[in-house]
Amino acid sequence: MTETTRYTNVAIILHWVIAILLIGMVFYGWYMDDLRGALRLGTEGVTSDQVQFAYNAHKTVGMLVLLLSFARLGWRLVHKAPGMPSGMKPWEQTVAKVTHLSFYVLMIGLPLVGWVAASTTQLPTMLFNNPDLILPRLPVSQDHDFHELVGNIHSKGAWVLLILTGLHVAAALKHQFLDKDGLLSRMLPFLKG
C-alpha cells in the first residue's frame, strides 16, 4: 500500500470553501457592525431592515460553516491525512498538528459561540432572511452582561482566526518556496508534488 501525498478531493473542496467562508465572515462581521453603528447614529440611507438582513446573512452563513465543519471533521476522521514531509523537524510537525487542531476548534467554536450570542437577544434569527426559517434559540441567559461576554469571545475568536490563517499561509509558502518539499501541492491540486 502506498502512502498518499495529497488530501482527497472532498477534503480539498471543504478546506477551501470553509476557509473562504470563514475569512469572508470576519470581514462581513466588521461591515455588519459598522452598519449597525451607522443606524444608531441615524446615518441617512441606513435602515433597520438592512441591518437585520446583514445579521441574518451572517448567522445563516455561520450555520453553513458549522455544518460544513462537522462534515469536514467527519471526513477527516474516516480518511487519513497525508503524512508530513520527511524533512520536517519534530517541532514543525508539532506546530502543524496544533495549528490544525486549533482550526477545527475555531471552525466549530466560532459558529457555536455566535449561535449562543444570537440566543441571548430577543431578536429572531431568520435563516436566509426567511421568517419561516427561524434558528432555534439555545437555552442560555438573556442577561446583557452575558450577551456582551459571548459577543466579545466571538469577535476575539475572529482575530485569532485571522492571525492563525496568516501563520498557516506563511508556513505553507515557506514549505513551498524555501523548503521545496511540495507540501502546498497536497491542498492545491494544480501544483505538482
Residues 6+ apart with CB under 8 A from 77: none
Whole-number average pLDDT of the chain? 93
What are 44-68's pLDDT values in tens digits? 999 999 999 999 999 999 999 999 9
pLDDT surpassing 80 at residue 1: no
pLDDT surpassing 70 at residue 124: yes
Residues 6+ apart with CB under 8 A from 106: 22, 157, 160, 161, 164
| CA-closest candidate to residue 39, choices 28, 26, 29, 49 | 49
What are 2-39's pLDDT values in tens digits? 456 789 999 999 999 999 999 999 999 999 999 999 99
Each domain of the chain, given as residue ranges in start order, spans 9-186
